[in-house]
Amino acid sequence: MNAELPIRPGPARGQVRESRPHDSAIKQVTGRAFYTDDIVEPAGTLEAYVAQSTEAHARITRLDVAAVRTAPGVRAVLTAADVPGVNNVGPVLADDPIFAEGLVEYVGQSLFAVIADDVRAARAAARLAVVEYEPLPALITVEAALAAGSYVLPSVTMRRGDAATAIAGAPHRLAGRLEIGGQDHFYLEGQISLALPGEDGDVTVVCSTQHPSEVQHLVAHALHVPVAAVTVEVRRMGGGFGGKETQASLFAAIAAIGARVTGRPIKLRLDRDDDMVMTGKRHDFLATWDVGFDGEGRLHGLKAMLAARCGYSADLSAAICDRALFHLDNAYYIPAVEAVSHRCKTHTVSNTAFRGFGGPQGMMVIERILDDVARHLRLDPLEVRRRNLYGDAGRDVTPYGMTVEDNVMPQLIAELVESSGYQARREAVAAFNAANPILKKGLALTPVKFGISFTTTHLNQAGALIHLYQDGSVHLNHGGTEMGQGLFTKVAQVVATEFGIDVDHVKITATTTAKVPNTSATAASSGSDMNGKAAQAAAQTLKARLAEVAAAEFGCRPEDVAFADNRVSGGDRSLGFAEVVTKAYFARVSLSSTGYYRTPKIHFDKDSFTGRPFYYFAYGAAVAEVTIDTLTGEYRLDRADILHDCGASLNPAIDRGQVEGGFIQGMGWLTSEELVFDGRGRLRTHAPSTYKIPACGDVPAEFHVTLLRDNPNTEPTIHRSKAVGEPPLMLGISVFAALRDAVAATYDDPAALPALDAPATPERVLAAIAP
């Protein structure tokens, strides 16, 4: 019965710092990693389709679904009247109806759902509904919303010193304007939920979500049942990127309501076009500024306005727009700042979390400002960037009052300048441009300093649950979700390291609200920081119990018991790990423990917009070199060099993968990925045919990615590592800056400031080159 795991001599495998492959790699390469749509459906499963508004802003004067109900294969039609509880899935404010009631506020808004034998029948039947509208004036763009004073939330100002006076007294002054486009997540696996009805009105929802607890809460409210009656589970997602933080709830709720109404399992899977139309995206921003600086390019004061297209509801826009303000400084000291953030309400889909969470837009603004300052002064933008970096006391406090304690940026940039051969290449680019009238090259180095923690302080908590079984195998569960980022692999390595056993003995299990409750979203790059610590705490509790058992056996003190090499040792004796676990069982010692972690030190006062919202910063920098064709606007990224700070990495291979993928995703955001809404608020780029994410050929042939060495986190994070999910995305800003550098080379006047908005599509590049 007690089949002990084989003990292998030598060091345990899969400890922290090892470049282990992703835990699911073998399943993923053989097609045996199950995503939600791959789970064997229970008998009787029905499928759902969600009918959508075709108007951006209108009163619904008639919604007649009689013909839908009698269509072939249809089992039920769900409207607002069929919601047993609250007809809302708003994550912060109650402003996201499950089904529209009388009013629609964006094209793609959910009107009703059809439950049928299969989705094809459901989709066909949905067309039979009679929907009549009385159109209302629609605000589609940020500018229209600003002009109308239309906001989802009050505006917020971040202020330090007297910016107006500082600007007025500065030797130089520039004003500017930048449009920054949004971005579709384009996770390869679209939104999907499978709802399974249980007894007592319970429901289990298998859902592709980064936030199982929130889905659980919102489904419970929609069903009017206690939260404990709902279980949400996710083993893995086919990508998330923030798009499955709040956006999964609507579809989970509809599936759950369908399960309640029909008593059958309900699958709701969006096809790609519906997914792109119905779900929120990265906020597009409009920024304007007035900046004062000296002849060296040092900033004296900055007044800025950041307006975000939030869409029709608040979603997470408050925290996202706050984070844009928190990153308006990026890596730079700005003595006097007054920055206002407007959260514009438009009649478009409600924008949401996306890797970086507003930070990228804030950084784009300051990087453009420094680019302008440098060009105005005819200096190399890199030189101006370096002069403005955070420094020693007096230049080390952010506009929101947080001291930058571990500023590695000056050294990091110096290292990257050296390794990338920046100076020689700057000269080579100038020589190339002098010699070539048609093709022009551009080069740019941009830094990233990104704050790590949820800025909503209470979210910075995590839980884990570990069971030990008598054969020494370990069952690991925590509140984090796996979306490809390698979280499960890293946390398993943490646990394996605590017990000193091979990571293969740690069974990684699906995230479920039934095991670890009240979790935060796997977001804000915080997954391994928080869940790693929580799992470590659970493992340490169990280790202490095992040490007592082993100490009694060995005749030594518990604190002298060591866990390593798949063995437990003390004095001159040792036992296999599994043997000790078995002895603990017979000694009637509990072999199950929870673990809990809350991030220390952080606090923030929303009213004064000051505090320490971040536990620490992650740093990085990238050099991009591009070539543009001035006849067509087409371009290539020729080379990218990246140096990124992961602290003491838990798994260097996984972290490098995050850096590479984040950089390319950031490049896509600022170059080829263009969301086009027409005048009626219809998204015209709702499939990969028209919405272009980077393909394999867009990646530079020369792509050098290095992790910063010998830089453990100065804070006691999990094994002194640093979060890596979001920060590398903003390294892609270097590509945008390099494109502008190439565009600037078409002007005779070196002080020209070409107008180039993001995304810098070939059309925009062509329009921006010298007339």
Per CB under 8 A, 37 contacts another protein: yes
- Joined together, the tokens standing for residue 669 give 């955001």
Of 91 and 243, which CB lies nearer to another protein in the complex structure? Answer: 243
Angle in degrees, CA 139, 141, 143, rounded to 5 = 100
How many angstroms separate the CA atoms of 453 and 460, rounded?
7
If binding is defined by CB under 8 A, does position 689 make contact with another protein?
yes
Binding residues for another protein, total number by CB under 8 A: 59
Q: What is the dihedral of CA 303, 309, 315, 318, to 10 degrees?
A: 0
Contact stretch for another protein (CB under 8 A) within 361-369, 466-474, 510-518, 692-700 = 692-700
* One character per residue 197-236, x = contact with another protein (rule: CB under 8 A): ---------------------------------------x
> Exposure string (b/e) for 209-232, b if CB count within 10 Å is 16 or more?
bbbbbbbbbbbbbbbebeeebbbb
Query: Do the beta carbons of residue 721 and residue 528 sit within 8 Å?
Result: yes
Task: Report whether 113 contacts 99 (CB < 8 A).
Answer: yes
**Continuous H helices in 555-675:** 577-586, 652-670
Angstrom CA distances, 85 to 109, 215, 305, 450, stand at: 20, 15, 40, 40
Name the segment binding another protein (CB under 8 A); options: 290-298, 387-395, 596-604, 683-691: 683-691
Mind spelling out the 3-state secondary structure of 711-745?
A: CCCCCCCHHHECCCCCHHHHHHHHHHHHHHHHHHC
Q: Is 395 in the site for another protein (CB under 8 A)?
A: no
Contact predicate 115/82, CB 8 Å: no
Shortest gap between Cβ of 188 and another protein (angstroms)?
Answer: 4
Phi, psi of 137 (to 5 degrees): -60, 135
Dihedral sign (CA 52, 55, 56, 60): negative
Whether 726 is catalytic is yes
Does residue 127 touch another protein according to CB under 8 A? no
Q: Which is nearer to another protein, 26 or 544 (CB)?
A: 26
Instruction: Give yes or no for a contact between 255 and 122, defined as CB atoms under 8 angstroms apart.
Output: no
Q: Which of 32, 177, 557, 684 binds another protein (CB under 8 A)?
A: 32
Instruction: For the CB of residue 181, give the shortest distance to another protein in the complex, in Å.
Output: 17
Q: How many whole angstroms separate alpha carbon 438 and alpha carbon 243?
A: 40
Could you say which of 653, 752, 753, 766 contacts another protein (CB under 8 A)?
Answer: 653
Q: Which is nearer to another protein, 483 or 575 (CB)?
A: 483
Among positions 134, 271, 296, 383, the unique one binding another protein when judged by CB under 8 A: 271
Q: Least Å distance between CB 41 and another protein? A: 9
Q: How far is the CB of 658 from another protein (least distance, A)?
A: 8
Residue entry with tokens 């975000």:
308
Q: Six-digit token pair at 110?
A: 């959910």
**Please, what is the minimum distance in Å from the beta carbon of residue 503 to another protein?**
15
Look at residues 335, 331, 356, 333 and name the one whose alpha carbon lies nearest to residue 408.
Answer: 331
Nearer to another protein, 20 or 300 (CB): 20
Contact letters for another protein, residues 520-539 (x by CB under 8 A)? --------------------
Q: Where are the alpha helices (DSSP H) in 564-651?
A: 577-586
Q: List the x/- string, 337-376, binding to another protein by CB under 8 A.
A: ----------------------------------------
Is the Cβ of residue 317 or residue 525 nearer to another protein in the bound state?
525
Strands (E), 439-581: 439-452, 461-468, 474-478, 506-508, 511-512, 562-564, 567-570, 573-576
- Write the single-letter amino acid at 505: H
Other CB atoms closer than 10 Å to residue 156's CB: what's the count?
Answer: 18
Per CB under 8 A, does 396 bind another protein?
no
CB of 696 to another protein, least distance (A): 4
**x/- site string to another protein, residues 230 to 269, per CB under 8 A?**
------xxxxxx----------------------------
Q: Is 661 in the site for another protein (CB under 8 A)?
A: yes
Amino acid at 243: G
Q: Are 214 and 96 in contact (CB under 8 A)?
A: no
Q: Out of 12, 14, 16, 24, point to the residue binding another protein (CB under 8 A).
A: 24
Q: Please identify which residue in 18, 28, 117, 556 interacts with another protein, judged by CB under 8 A.
A: 28
Say if CB 532 and CB 480 are below 8 A apart.
Answer: no
Question: Is 663 among the residues that bind another protein (CB under 8 A)?
Answer: yes
Candidate residues 189, 284, 329, 565; the one interacting with another protein per rule CB under 8 A: 189
Tokens representing residue 349 in the block: 């889909």
Residue 483 in contact with another protein, rule: CB under 8 A:
yes
Distance of alpha carbon 483 from alpha carbon 506, whole angstroms: 19
Mark the segment that binds another protein (CB under 8 A) among 34-42, 151-159, 289-297, 594-602: 34-42
Residue tagged active-site, from 105, 553, 625, 726: 726
**Residue 657 interacts with another protein (CB under 8 A): yes or no:** yes
Query: Does 132 contact another protein by CB under 8 A?
Result: no
**Between 25 and 228, whose beta carbon lies closer to another protein?**
25
Stretch that binds another protein, among 20-28, 154-162, 447-455, 505-513 (CB under 8 A): 20-28
Choices 92-100, 305-313, 554-562, 661-669 (CB under 8 A): range interacting with another protein: 661-669
Rounded to whole angstroms, the Cα distance separating 375 from 385 reads 12
CB of 24 to another protein, least distance (A): 6
The residue among 430 and 701 lying less far from another protein, judged by its C-beta, is: 701
Binding piece for another protein, criterion CB under 8 A, among 217-225, 561-569, 621-629, 654-662: 654-662
Instruction: Report the residue count for the chain.
Output: 771
- State the Cα torsion 113-119-120-122 to the nearest 10°: -20
Between 273 and 396, whose beta carbon lies closer to another protein?
273
Using CB under 8 A as the binding rule, the residues of this chain from 697 to 756 that contact another protein are: 697, 699, 701, 703, 705
Tokens of 124: 């066909």
- β-sheet bridge partners, residue 3: none
**Interface with another protein, residue 29, by CB under 8 A:** yes
How many alpha carbons lie under 13 Å from residue 733 in its C-beta half-sphere?
27
208-to-251, 510, 544, 570, 704 alpha-carbon distances in Å: 10, 11, 36, 45, 33
CA–CA distance, 103 with 748 (Å, rounded to integer): 54
Q: Would strands 192-197 and 266-269 be described as parallel, antiparallel, or unpaired?
A: antiparallel
Answer for which of 43, 696, 710, 771 binds another protein (CB under 8 A) is 696
Nearest distance from C-beta of residue 695 to another protein, angstroms: 5
* Smallest separation (angstroms) from another protein to the CB of 724: 12
C-beta separation of 409 from 450 below 8 A? no
Residues 300-339 that bind another protein (CB under 8 A): none
133 binds another protein (CB under 8 A): no
Identify the sign of the CA torsion 668, 178, 364, 423.
positive
Q: Which residue has the tokens 């920098």?
A: 621
Q: Which is nearer to another protein, 115 or 468 (CB)?
A: 115
Which of the ranges 196-204, 376-384, 405-413, 651-659 carries the binding residues for another protein, by CB under 8 A?
A: 651-659
Q: Which of 253, 530, 654, 683 binds another protein (CB under 8 A)?
A: 654
Interface stretch with another protein, choices 31-39, 134-142, 407-415, 518-526 (CB under 8 A): 31-39
As annotated, the active-site residues are 726
Contact residues: another protein, CB under 8 A: 19, 21-22, 24-35, 37-38, 40, 185-190, 236-241, 271-273, 483-486, 653-654, 656-657, 660-665, 687-689, 693-697, 699, 701, 703, 705
